[in-house]
Amino acid sequence: YRQVANLEDLTDAERDELWVTVRDATLAVKQAYVPAGLNVGLNLGTPAGGSVSQHLHVHIVPRWVGDTNFTVAIANTKVLSETLSSTAARLRAAWPKGAK
């Protein structure tokens, strides 16, 4: 729960907890949204696109063939098909049982 900017700054226990959580999150996203694929990644540092460079975080983005990912870069438009509270509820319901 401490802020760390780089993967190499994580303790072994923090690293293990992070990747278990990433695994659990990918399972929840797959169950809740049934995407065709996923983007899973980190942007480490401002030059890499890290918007909060003082701590690392993992992005998990569901993807479908023909989705509108390009609109942010080309049209400066974001597509949000449901409220964030609805997304949170769906992911909580799909989170693997017994996971943190």
What residue type is assigned to position 72 of the chain?
V
Residues with catalytic roles: 57
Q: Please count the other Cβ atoms lying within 10 Å of the Cβ belonging to residue 26.
A: 16
Q: Please count the other Cβ atoms lying within 10 Å of the Cβ belonging to residue 28.
A: 19
Q: What does residue 59 show for φ and ψ, rounded to 5 degrees?
A: -95, 135
* Contact criterion met (CB below 8 Å) for 56 and 21: no
